[in-house]
Amino acid sequence: MKRYIFLLTIAVFVPYFMQAQDLADALRYSNIQVQGTARSAAMGNAFGALGGDFTSASINPAGIGVYRSSEFTVTPIFGNTNVETNYLGTNRESSDFKFSLNNMGYVYAVPVAANNEAGLVNINFGLGYNRVKDLNSDAVIQGFGVNGSYMDYFADRANQGIWSDFYEELAWKTDVLLKDENNNEYYSDFQDANYGQSQRKTYSKNGSIDEYSLSMGLNFNHKLYLGIAWGINDLYYSQGTTIYENDEIGHTPPFVNNFQFDESLTTYGVGHNFKFGAIYKPINELRLGVSIHTPTFYRLTDDFSTTMYSDITYVDGRDTYQEDSPYNEYDYHLQTPMRATFSGAVVLGKSGIISVDYELVNYGKAKLKNGGGGDDFIDQNAEISEAYKTSGNLRIGGELMATKNISLRAGLEYLQSPYNKNAFETKQLNGDANTMVYAGGIGYRTGSFFADLAYRYSTLEDFDYPYPTPGSVDYPAPKAASFKTVKNDVIFTLGFRF
Nearest Cα neighbor of 75 from 126, 17, 127, 131 is 131
Q: Measured between alpha carbons, how far is 60 from 261 in angstroms, rounded to an integer?
A: 45
Nearest Cα neighbor of 37 from 50, 56, 62, 64 is 56
Q: Measured between alpha carbons, how far is 396 from 344 in angstroms, rounded to an integer?
A: 10
The whole-model pTM stands at 0.91
Q: Which DSSP string do the residues of 368-383 spell out, in sequence order?
A: EE-BTTTB--HHHHHH
pLDDT of residue 375: 86
CA 51 to each of CA 257, 344, 388, 397: distance values in angstroms, whole numbers, following the listed order? 61, 12, 31, 13
Q: How many CB atoms lie within 10 A of CB 462?
A: 18
Handedness of CA 345, 413, 432, 131 (dihedral sign): positive
pLDDT of residue 114: 63
pLDDT of residue 115: 66
Q: Measured between alpha carbons, how far is 193 from 183 in angstroms, rounded to an integer?
A: 17
Q: Measured between alpha carbons, how far is 434 from 431 in angstroms, rounded to an integer?
A: 8
pLDDT of residue 20: 58
Q: Which DSSP string do the residues of 23-43 spell out, in sequence order?
A: HHHHHHHHS---B--HHHHHT
pLDDT of residue 21: 72
Helices (H), 160-196: 168-173, 189-192
| 143, amino acid identity | G
DSSP run (H or E) holding 386: helix 378-387
Q: What is the CATH number of domain 17-146+192-497?
A: 2.40.160.60
Q: Measured between alpha carbons, how far is 215 from 274 in angstroms, rounded to an integer?
A: 10
Residue partners of 117: CB distance under 8 A and separation at least 6 = 221, 222
Q: Measured between alpha carbons, how far is 374 from 388 in angstroms, rounded to an integer?
A: 25
pLDDT of residue 293: 98
CB 250 within 8 Å of CB 256: no
- Give the up-direction half-sphere exposure of residue 352: CA atoms within 13 A in the CB hemisphere: 13
Chain centre to alpha carbon of residue 413: 17
pLDDT by 10s per residue, the chain, length 498: 333 322 222 222 233 333 457 788 999 999 999 989 999 999 999 999 999 999 999 999 999 999 999 999 999 999 999 999 999 999 999 999 999 999 999 999 999 876 667 789 999 999 999 999 999 999 999 999 999 999 999 999 999 999 999 999 999 999 999 999 999 999 999 999 999 999 999 999 999 999 999 999 999 999 999 999 999 999 999 999 999 999 988 888 999 999 999 999 999 999 999 999 999 999 999 999 999 999 999 999 999 999 999 999 999 999 999 999 999 999 999 999 999 999 999 999 889 999 999 999 999 999 999 988 788 899 999 999 999 999 999 999 999 999 999 999 999 999 999 999 999 888 999 999 999 999 999 999 999 999 999 999 999 999 999 999 998 888 999 999 999 999 999 999 999 999
